[in-house]
Amino acid sequence: MRNSLLIALFFLIPLTISWGQSDNRQKKLEAQRKQLQVEIKQINQLLFSSIKKKKTALEEVEDLAVKIDLRSRLIRVTNEQANRLSQQININQRNIDRQRKELATLKKDYAAMVQQSYVSKSGQSRLMFIFSSESFLQAYKRFQYLKQYARFRRKQGKLIEEKTQTLQQLNLDLLAQKKKKEDLVKENRLVQKDFEKERLQQGELITALKKRERSLSSQIRKKQQQIAAFDREIQRLIQAAIAASNKAAGKAKSAVFSLTPEALLVAKNFTANKGKLPWPVEKGVVIQGFGIQPHPIVKTTKIKSNGITIATPDHEDVRSVFEGVVMNVFSVKGSNPTVLIQHGNYITAYSNLETILVKKGQKVASKEVIGKVFTHPETGKAELKFSVFETSTPINPKTWIYRM
């Protein structure tokens, strides 16, 4: 009987740990799934709601690529959820079978113990058991044994009750998991249908575009040249600001800023808030990532991005992600204005603005509105290009902005 109790506890401990680990992963997957659903809804509102607006075939393909990528990620996350639920259902089923066997063993042991207790249940029998001892020590030990036996009976009864409750809860969990899995599978079928439809649409557009791939490659290269010229201008302005800071500090030429004690504190606080900085807009979805990536149509052509692109609602307010000083406000040929804000030895860039509400040298606070995103009158698209630099080196904004 004592062994039955130890065996039950032995199986219960790892079972609790595995449930906890699986539950944590499921919660993370559920959060990802809901976030992706929100992003797909936002993409539909931001990029596909204005059907009367004119888009080039290239823009349509690029927009569809964003939505297809999100749907693909949603399908993967939902599949992982369903697969993990299948595994957990199998584990739960095995646990239920084991718990039933253990409960049957406990009940059998308990029945035998009760029967034995019934045979010698009278107080007279217990007293005779104690008084028939050969010595006081033996009588004391027999008395202690009876007390332990009574305690063990109570524990055994409580364990049976707990086992029964655990078994009932396992059954409820199993039913809930099966229902959740059915819902996920149904939902994934609908997402898969939309995914296939959009991929077919994108394929048709790409086929049409590939007939004029040479001119398309030329357009992409021209766009990349404009981006490169824009990036060079940012680098020139940063280098000029570095030189000015060194000159003001009376130092020799250096590749880094000469910072005042106040600017050093701002830089330290900026670093301390890595991964916790607010978004540069209240509402928006990232539609292009950081770094070098293949073009969605001309795979041989690489796209380089020193920041990220965020699709936003029309004329959305743009906010500084941290306190700092406006380092520069500029624009290059063929692009809308950009604001550079210095946070010690860090710089954030906010490009494609239509309205500017700050000027060079102005101090700004975290979340202070510095302008509005440009909304294209023909396509209806509003996109903010956002970059982060450590001195003059571009770094991935996604590692700095909260939940990006």
Q: Closest Cα partner for 218 from 306, 299, 301, 291?
A: 301
Give the strand pairing for 346-351 and 291-294.
Answer: unpaired
Name the 3-class secondary structure at 375.
Answer: strand
Tell me the C-alpha distance between 398 and 289, whole Å. 8
Measured between alpha carbons, how far is 102 from 96 in angstroms, rounded to an integer?
Answer: 10
Q: Is 243 helix (H, G, I), strand (E, B) or coil?
A: helix
Q: How far apart are CA 371 and CA 354, in angstroms?
A: 7
Domain boundaries, the chain: 2-209, 213-399
**Bigger pLDDT: 327 vs 296:** 327
For the cut 80, the answer to whether the pLDDT of residue 143 exceeds it is no
* Cα 133 from Cα 122, distance rounded (Å): 18
User: d(Cα 227, Cα 78) in Å, to the nearest integer?
Assistant: 37
> Helix 136-210 vs helix 57-119: angle between axes, to the nearest 10 degrees?
160
pLDDT digits (tens, 9 = 90+) for 151-190: 766 676 677 677 677 777 777 888 888 898 999 999 999 9
Class of domain 2-209: mainly alpha
For the domain spanning 213-399, the CATH number is: 2.70.70.10
Measured distance CA(281)–CA(279) in Å, rounded: 5
| pLDDT tier, 312 (very low <50, low <70, confident <90, very high otherwise) | very high
Q: How confident is the model at residue 132 (pLDDT cuts 50, 70, 90)?
A: confident
Find how far residue 368's CA is from the centre of its chain.
26
**Rounded Cα distance, 75 and 177, in Å:** 19
Q: What is the pLDDT of residues 327-337, one digit of tens each?
A: 999 998 888 99
Q: What is the pTM of this model?
A: 0.73
Contacting residues for 167 by C-beta, under 8 A, at least 6 apart: 96, 99, 100, 103
Question: SS3 sequence, 125-138?
Answer: HHHHHHHCCCCHHH
Distance from C-alpha of 103 to C-alpha of 171, rounded to nearest angstrom: 14
Residue 297: CB partners within 8 Å, gap ≥ 6?
58, 61, 206, 209, 210, 216
> What type of residue sits at position 212?
R
Question: Rounded distance, CA 12 to CA 195, Å?
Answer: 43
d(CA 77, CA 84): 11
> How confident is residue 277, by pLDDT bands cut at 50, 70 and 90?
very high
Residue 346 CA from chain centroid, whole number: 26
pLDDT (tens digit per residue) in 208-261: 777 766 677 777 888 888 889 999 999 999 999 999 999 998 888 888 999 999
Q: What angle do CA 114, 115, 120 make, to 5 degrees?
A: 95
